[in-house]
């Protein structure tokens, strides 16, 4: 197994990101990337020797101060001041996993040779990544328009020996980290601060992390839904291929096919049924789960484009001898798709909770609340309350962030995407979905025991056996909080085939 990922112009896919993270690969610049960065930096240095006209962000102020010309003697100080002044984040600490992806994506974006940074600046970011030196970044502060200014400022501060990092399990000043590593602070050159701060890597990293989790949870939703169907003594007919070929949405077809595969060989599904139809939460699994799959696929395409793009400003085009100020830092493509993803995942949670509700309702030969001796035992009465509360919160979180915009920088930045808010709340929806599916699995695995001695399919029996090693059958009332947490951990620790992330 290759333990190194070389930063290059090769397409960086979500599957590749997943491999880099899960296989703990180190990063190195390819020779191609090194040459691209050096050529761009050399071009900018030569340009600035004779440049008298104002070039935004290189020899001018920032935002509404774009008309203030800065002398060449102060260009390095200008960039350092930019990083310090924009480090205005607050709120919760960004999770380590997201910070790691932010570093990867910022390195990737700077490597194309359109940003004017020094090679040693990019190499220091790579050093941070490879040594698990993670800048302390805050969730609040970005409007998702001029890039993720505040979060990326906090990402960049440790380059200067400023701010804080997590290192060796401790939160500590970046200055102390540099001393431990024997590194000198980076002296930023013209344009570098702006290249570091302009960009969509906060939104993108959250989106990539959410997508990786969402892809896994979408697959697990099918498995847990199949177990619920068996526990409810549901019918197989709604998954017949003929139904789905006359309404051939890709996700719908994939879900129906997977349900048939999951239930293949089941004694429970094969037994005669007394009921003619199942409730929608069972019967419409292909349509609902499938629509969410199609949304995930669409969002993946948008993010695949984004993480292989240059999103700082201005951009330097050597061959055309042009430095152009534009708006590639604007997060609108991400804001819209993150909101879309949040809606799709909230719906996976919504239909999951409805299956849980059906399972505890005392229907189809199941005891009320899935426990023997109900009354003395409340059984699974209250986990459904928990799931319902989380589903309701997801509905609130699914309110689009991208419809909002607040003018900033004295009117210069008069439309913003609010993509950062879309990103952070979408990850909350993902984490909530994981909890909702965990509660459904608790209920479904309990319900299926009342179908014994009949067995479900070999695959689902194997899955349930593995689950029961972590969460025992509920015979009488106990503290179910621990069961919920252990079920969440079970789902998180499941290792899925890489093909699931394709």
- The catalytic residue positions are 56
- What count of other Cβ atoms lies within 10 Å of the Cβ of residue 160? 19
The residue assigned the tokens 């609902």 is 288
DSSP string, 241-287: HHHHHTS--HHHHHHHHHHHHHHTT-HHHHS--S-S---HHHHTHHH
Residues in the chain: 502
Q: Determine contact, residues 69/60, Cβ cutoff 8 Å.
A: yes
Tokens matching residue 468: 């029961």
Pairwise CA distance, residues 93 & 418, whole Å: 19
Pairwise CA distance, residues 460 & 438, whole Å: 16
Tokens matching residue 398: 């699914």
Q: Determine contact, residues 2/25, Cβ cutoff 8 Å.
A: yes
- What count of other Cβ atoms lies within 10 Å of the Cβ of residue 4? 10
Strand 138-140 relative to strand 90-93: parallel, antiparallel, unpaired?
antiparallel
- What count of other Cβ atoms lies within 10 Å of the Cβ of residue 92? 9
- Report CA dihedral (407, 413, 417, 419) to the nearest 10 degrees: -100
- Residue 423 CA to its chain's centroid (Å): 8
3-state secondary structure of 374: strand
- Sign for the CA dihedral angle at 325, 329, 330, 333 comes to positive
Angle value at C-alpha 369, between 398 and 395, nearest 5 degrees? 5
Number of H helices, E strands in the chain: 19, 9
Backbone torsion region of residue 260, taken as left when φ is above 0, otherwise alpha when ψ lies between -120 and 50, otherwise beta: alpha
């Amino acid at each position: 197994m290759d333990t190194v990922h070389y930063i290059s112009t090769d397409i960086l896919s979500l599957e590749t990101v997943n491999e880099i993270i899960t296989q703990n690969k180190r990063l190195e610049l390819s020779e191609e990337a090194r040459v691209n960065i050096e050529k761009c930096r050399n071009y900018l240095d030569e340009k600035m020797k004779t440049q008298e006209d104002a070039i935004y962000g290189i020899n001018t102020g920032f935002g509404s101060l774009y008309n203030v010309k800065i002398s060449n003697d102060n260009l390095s100080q200008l960039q350092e001041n930019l990083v310090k002044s924009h480090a205005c984040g607050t709120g919760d600490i960004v999770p380590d996993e997201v910070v790691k992806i932010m570093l990867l994506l910022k390195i990737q974006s700077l490597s194309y040779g359109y940003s004017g940074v020094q090679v040693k600046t990019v190499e220091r970011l790579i050093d941070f990544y490879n040594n698990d030196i993670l800048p302390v970044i805050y969730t609040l502060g970005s409007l998702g328009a001029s890039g993720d200014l505040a979060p990326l400022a906090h990402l960049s501060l440790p380059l200067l020996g400023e701010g804080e990092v997590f290192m060796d399990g401790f939160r500590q000043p970046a200055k102390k980290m540099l001393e431990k590593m024997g590194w000198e602070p980076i002296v930023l050159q013209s344009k570098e601060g702006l290249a570091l701060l302009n960009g969509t890597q906060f939104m993108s990293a959250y989106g990539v992390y959410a997508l990786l989790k969402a892809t896994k949870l979408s697959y697990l939703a099918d498995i847990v839904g199949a177990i619920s169907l068996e526990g409810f003594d549901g019918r197989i007919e709604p998954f017949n291929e003929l139904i789905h070929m006359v309404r051939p949405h890709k996700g719908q077809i994939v879900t129906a096919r997977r349900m048939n595969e999951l239930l293949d060989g089941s004694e429970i599904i094969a037994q005669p049924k007394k009921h003619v139809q199942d409730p929608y939460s069972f019967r419409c699994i292909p349509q609902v789960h499938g629509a969410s799959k199609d949304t995930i696929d669409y969002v993946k395409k948008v993010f695949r484009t984004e993480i292989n793009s240059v999103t700082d400003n201005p951009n330097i085009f050597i061959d055309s001898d042009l430095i152009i100020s534009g708006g590639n830092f604007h997060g609108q493509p991400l804001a819209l798709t993150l909101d879309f993803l949040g809606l799709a995942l909230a719906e996976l949670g919504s239909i999951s909770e409805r299956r849980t509700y059906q399972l505890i309702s005392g229907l189809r030969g199941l005891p009320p609340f899935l426990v023997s001796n109900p009354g003395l035992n409340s059984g699974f009465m209250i986990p459904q309350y928990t799931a319902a509360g989380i589903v309701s919160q997801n509905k609130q979180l699914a309110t689009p962030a991208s419809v909002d915009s607040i003018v900033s920088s004295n009117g210069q930045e008069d439309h913003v995407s609010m993509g950062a808010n879309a990103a952070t709340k979408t990850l909350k929806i993902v984490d909530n979905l994981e909890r909702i599916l965990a509660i459904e699995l608790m209920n479904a695995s309990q319900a299926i025991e009342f179908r014994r001695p009949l067995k479900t399919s070999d695959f689902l029996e194997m899955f349930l056996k593995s689950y029961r090693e972590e969460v025992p059958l509920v015979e009488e009332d106990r503290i179910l909080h621990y069961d919920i947490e252990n079920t969440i951990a079970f789902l998180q620790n499941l290792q899925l085939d890489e093909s699931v992330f394709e």
